[in-house]
Chain A
Amino acid sequence: MKNAFIIASKDLMRSVRDRSAIVTAIVAPFALAFILSTVLGGEDGSSLNVTFATVDQDGGPVSTVLIDEILPSLEQEGAELVDAGSVEGARRMAEDGDIAAAFVLPEGLSEAVQSNEPAEITVIADPEAEIGGQIARGVAEGFAAELNAARLSIGTVIASGAADPSEIQGLQQEASDVPMPTRLVKSSAGGRQFDSNTFFAAGIAVFFLFFTVQLGAVSLLQERKEGTLARLLAAPVSRATIVSAKAIYSFVLGALSMTILIVASTFLMGAQWGDPLGVAVVVLSAVFAAMGLQSLVATLASTDEQAAGYGAIVGVTLGLLGGTFFPIAQGPGLISRLSFVSPHRWIMRSLGELSGGAGTLADVLPSVAVLLLFGAITGAVALYRSRSLVAAS
């Protein structure tokens, strides 16, 4: 076993010297998580980090409902609301990138809505703020749909001839007075809810973990290519020692990378990982599962380049399927169910359960058991197949 640690420490030293392992394990994932979090999330972990403007030329009850009741929901999600003053001002702010989008409520909007006349709400969006623009359009369309539904109800009453004009006027007044049912509400299921910073930090860390741990198996193929495997085999070490060394190297690199990312994202991005013991257990079982899978993939390759390529394909496919970039549970039913074949899904699920202090170690034990089983099965097959890898070429 001592020789396994000697070989593993040599591999770690080469990784540090090579720098590519550090980039793969730490720099790239942290940079990507930070960028995604900054662009798509908020500094405090809220889901929006954009500014919206309003131009209220109407001043009636309809615009009041939108400005006072609907849009404040966006503020609760981290967006900022400002008054652009005029359409020209809003357009200029959008062009300058000061706002993601502006809601323009034209003069006579409320009157048009109440009298069943055509009415429109204009959204002026910064073309580069794609997500902010989409959110603004979505809010405006949702609001318009609510208004149309109210007008359709009143129209139906009129068409049925069941009410006299004074009742209809009363209905219109009531409809405009009723608070809008549309709200942007934060919801979660079963306590599994990441804030955006933690989600991106976890997703990217898990995604890159599968690239990091494959370095052990790849290094075995690299030793074969460099001719040093023959020298290792000629030394007083067994084949099992060489395989163990590569496993130790992978495990240390994977665990180290995850730990650094967790600590860094906690302090620099405000990520909330939750129960440290639970997170540690999830991380270790995640590294184990990732090692098993990527080692198995590497045994299908005959060169280190091929192994890295296969590993990347598997890592990206299962990473996307497992919801490291977007919450796969919200995807179509089939994809959501299929995602459970990916270890990424189980890792994200258990980290989600712990996130923000919502869950404890006991809550994640079932997912941990799945990950350990996954790692044990794939690792055993990889070990069996590695006999041909650890041989003189």
Chain B
Amino acid sequence: MTAIAQTESGVPSSTDARPILDCRGLEKSYGDRRAVAGVGFEIAAGETYGLLGPNGAGKTTTISMVCGLLSRDAGEVVVNGKPLTPSSTDAKTAIGYVPQDLAIYPDLTAKENLTFFGRLYGMARVDIRQRSKEILEITGLADRADERTDEFSGGMKRRLNIGIALLHRPSLLVLDEPTVGVDPQSRNAILGNVEALSGAGMAVLYTTHYMEEAERLCDRVGIIDEGEIKAEGTRRELVAILGEHDHVSLDATGDLTGAARALASLETIAEATHRESGIDLILANASRHLPQILETVAQADAEVTSVNVVEPDLEAVFLKLTGKALRD
């Protein structure tokens, strides 16, 4: 997939002080369960903002409210200075939305899919024709433009899925976990495209539960869990939350639940959580406390097979803030 860059995009210049997306106090409940509780953030032109959190953290619910897919219980969303309300659709014209699952018509051709959505966004026929051609070129689908999309490979469908969102030259691109279930090659291509689009001045809202993606793409990250943004900032600002703490990753076997519980009870351990094949710890002066850690694990009927002191990263920040691993 070639890099997608916006030509003649509707993106305001980066010197424009007004944010492209400004959302505040977003709330959504399903019965007694609060899916999103007071989420708010801003994204400027040319900025990529990541919502990082595990499955069920409230990422999709948040962007569903941002894109107008879901009515919100409270809060406001302003896109390009226009409020997004249930009755007005103006703000939506500035948004390009890439759903997590494929959202293309399988019995229409690539060109017909683009034409249909172009018409929905009020584009003129000539413009649709010209812009479709551009999109098909940059997604590498020009020679398959007249084929039904159910004959496409998974990667081609993914490219068209993103291409449709870019057709009407949005100033805000919203991508909901676009790399879930995608092969490494396509994943890399998608990440490259997002970088290119951001570089071209587009505001990007990107949700993921992959720490590496957030670290690579996002200028700022909002760490979200249980419907709340726990912390927000650049990678450097977030890692600073860890202070002098280290992230220690133990590969271990045995009773990992018991071992993690025993470690968490130690005064020197800030956070301890177990995963399938080991335990993650946040603590200060890790090297000094290693003997105590190994002894505690052994007493809990577990055996450590390797110890890694990891450079502070967003996963460690998430662990520190929520007491949970991103993979939970």
Contacts and interface: CB of A to CB of B under 8 A. Distances in A.
Interface of A: 3, 6-7, 10, 13-14, 17-18, 226-228, 230-239, 391-392
B107 A230 contact: no
Contacts of A3: 120
Nearest to A233: B69
B97 A14 contact: no
B1 interface: no
Nearest to A387: B71
A236 B122 contact: yes
Given A234-B69, A236-B93, A391-B70, 5 more contacts: A3-B120, A14-B108, A18-B107, A237-B120, A239-B86
Given A234-B69, A234-B95, A238-B87, A17 B107 contact: yes
Given A231-B97, A234-B92, A14 B116 contact: no
Nearest to A239: B86
A236 B170 CA distance: 12
B102 interface: yes
B263 interface: no
A20 to B, nearest CB: 11
Contact of A231 (B70, B103, B108, B122): B103
A228 B120 contact: no
B116 A6 contact: yes
A275 to B, nearest CB: 40
B89 interface: yes
A228 B92 contact: no
Contact of A226 (B86, B92, B93, B103): B103
A231 B170 CA distance: 14
B135 interface: no
A234 B68 contact: yes
Interface string B105-134: 111100010001101111000000000000
Contact of B89 (A227, A230, A238): A238
> Helix, strand, loop or mixed for chain B's interface?
loop
B105 A228 contact: yes
B99 A227 contact: yes
B120 A230 contact: no
Contact of B92 (A18, A230, A235): A235
Nearest to A7: B120
A14 B105 contact: yes
A211 B99 CA distance: 32
Nearest to B95: A234
Contacts of B86: 238-239
B168 to A, nearest CB: 9
A392 B92 contact: no
Nearest to B102: A227
B191 interface: no
A239 B67 CA distance: 13
Nearest to B94: A236
Contacts of A230: 64, 69, 97, 99, 103
B70 A228 contact: no
Contacts of A14: 105, 107-108
B223 to A, nearest CB: 24
A7 B121 CA distance: 12
Given A14-B105, A14-B108, A231 B164 contact: yes
B96 to A, nearest CB: 9
Contacts of B64: 230, 392
A7 B103 CA distance: 15
B101 A227 contact: yes
Contact of B106 (A226, A234, A236): A226
A311 B103 CA distance: 26
Size class of B's contact patch?
20 to 34
A13 B164 CA distance: 19
Contact of B120 (A227, A235, A239): A235
Give the one of A6, A227, A392 with max B CB within 10 A: A392
Nearest to B89: A236
B3 interface: no
A234 B112 CA distance: 19
B241 interface: no
Interface in B44-88: 64, 67-71, 86-87
Contacts of A392: 64, 69-70
B117 A235 contact: yes
A6 B89 contact: no
B328 interface: no
Given A14-B108, A227-B99, A236 B121 contact: yes
A150 B259 CA distance: 106
B146 interface: no
Contacts of B103: 226-228, 230-231
A44 B103 CA distance: 53
A7 B97 CA distance: 18
Give the one of A3, A235, A239 with max B CB within 10 A: A235
11 contacts: A14-B105, A14-B108, A17-B108, A18-B107, A226-B105, A228-B104, A230-B64, A233-B68, A234-B92, A236-B90, A391-B69
Contacts of A13: 108, 112
A238 to B, nearest CB: 6
A245 to B, nearest CB: 10
A7 B120 CA distance: 8
A230 B87 CA distance: 17
Contacts of A234: 67-69, 92, 95, 97, 99
Nearest to B60: A392
Give the one of B70, B102, B105, B106 with max A CB within 10 A: B105
A231 B117 contact: yes
A3 B122 CA distance: 9
A228 B101 CA distance: 9
Contacts of A6: 116, 119-120
Contacts of A236: 89-90, 92-93, 120-122
Nearest to A238: B89
Contacts of A226: 103, 105-106
Q: Which 5 residue pairs across A and B have the least CB separation, nearest first?
A: A236-B89, A234-B97, A392-B69, A227-B103, A231-B103
Contacts of B122: 236
A363 to B, nearest CB: 44
Contacts of B102: 227
A218 B87 CA distance: 25
